[in-house]
Amino acid sequence: FNAGRGAALNREGIAELDAAIMDGATLRAGAVTGVTTVRNPIRLARRVMSDTRHILIAGPGAERFADATGLERVDNSWFVTPRRRKMLDDALLAEPRAAIHSEAFSARFGTVGAVARDTSGRLAAATSTGGLTAKLPGRVGDAPLIGAGTYADARVAISCTGTGEQFIRHGVARGIASRVELLDEPVDAAASHFIHSVLNPDDGGLIAIDAAGRVATPFSTIGMYRGIADSTGRRHVAIWKD
């Protein structure tokens, strides 16, 4: 998957990792961007949420904060796998043709996202990713931006995957929450609206859950790795459309 070890590499061969988490009941959120040595960026995002008054911490400051919280750091080479290195080499060779669009979907959309509802109907969302292969160093995607790739409130929780610039441009995660709130739209209709009517074909997908436990997993790519589990014993995993 495109997070932690095995994450997509930037054009200099470095894994620059983004992660965010949000608690819908309190609207507390934490995120990190451009971290290169923190073994579990999502744990660091959670510590930003729980231990600071900030929401998003970038780069070297985030790494120092990881030390202060006692989280494990590793050399950047720990994240780099031969498969990702080859994808980067292939992407750089394919330029100036659009490298990003020459990748197989499995290379592009292996973001790790989670949305959850507890037994009281409280919601949360989290997203962790290496971003896009061959991205410019310092590029920030949608995942760590609250309201773009990650969002949760009392009504709905959303985690997105795909071409981050598109999700940022259209404010997708917060936009879904607004449609649910202001139009009283069901979560699947609000989520499908963004994936199929606002974004372009092949831009990506998302997972969402509402306070009643209804789930939506729309995507416009040929596939999206996804799974659903609940306390009634429901277990479902899928990759393709059906």
- Residues at the site binding ligand ASP, with contacts judged by CB under 6 A: 2, 109, 111, 129, 131-132, 141-143, 149, 161-164
Tell me, yes or no, if 221 is annotated catalytic: no
Query: At its nearest, how many Å lie between ligand ASP and the CB of residue 152?
Result: 17
Which CB, 199 or 215, lies closer to ligand ASP?
Answer: 199
Assigned token pair, 190: 């609000």
Which CB, 7 or 211, lies closer to ligand ASP?
Answer: 7
Which CB, 2 or 37, lies closer to ligand ASP?
Answer: 2
Q: Is 98 exposed, middle or buried (0-12, 13-18, 19+ CB in 10 A)?
A: exposed
Yes or no: say if 66 and 60 are a contact pair by the CB < 8 Å rule: no
Query: At its nearest, how many Å lie between ligand ASP and the CB of residue 53?
Result: 26
Which CB, 109 or 194, lies closer to ligand ASP?
Answer: 109
Q: Rounded to a whole number, what is the largest CA-CA distance in the chain?
A: 51
Report strand pairing: 28-35 vs 56-58. parallel
Query: At its nearest, how many Å lie between ligand ASP and the CB of residue 20?
Result: 11
Query: Which residue among the candidates 33, 111, 163, 221 is catalytic per the annotation?
Result: 111
Residue in the structure block whose two tokens are 């999206």:
224
Measured CA distances, 139 to 16, 45, 51, 97 (Å): 9, 18, 26, 19
**Could you list the active site residues?**
111
